[in-house]
Amino acid sequence: MKNRIMNLKSNVSIKMLTAYMALKNQKGEGFVDTAIKILMSVVIGALILAGLYTLFDETVLPTLTRRVQEMFNYAG
């Protein structure tokens, strides 16, 4: 029983020390840094989507449309 109580005290002490160190930590990430990261990811994602849309619109879709029309052209 004594071992269990000592083990419990030890675990509680470790948890309290971890919480204390987390609260005392002065290092952190500011709101501006996070906002800039989010904005950069949105802009880069939009650029990638615009590039893919242009690629599919001008290159892939016309070729695909022509091939489908040739495939279903029963006239000869």
| 30-48 tens-digit pLDDT | 778 888 999 999 999 999 9
Average pLDDT, the chain: 85
Q: How many domains does the chain have?
A: 1
**Domain ranges, residue 57:** 2-71
Q: What percent of the chain has pLDDT over 90?
A: 25
Give CA separation, 38 vs 15, 29, 35, 42, 52, in Å. 33, 13, 5, 6, 21
Instruction: For residue 76, tell me if it sits in a domain.
Output: no
Residue 59: pLDDT band (50, 70, 90) is confident
| Amino acid letter for position 56 | F
Question: What pTM value is reported for the model?
Answer: 0.46
Instruction: For residue 33, tell me if it sits in a domain.
Output: yes
Instruction: For residue 56, tell me if it sits in a domain.
Output: yes
pLDDT(28) > 80:
no
Instruction: For residue 48, tell me if it sits in a domain.
Output: yes
Instruction: For residue 45, tell me if it sits in a domain.
Output: yes
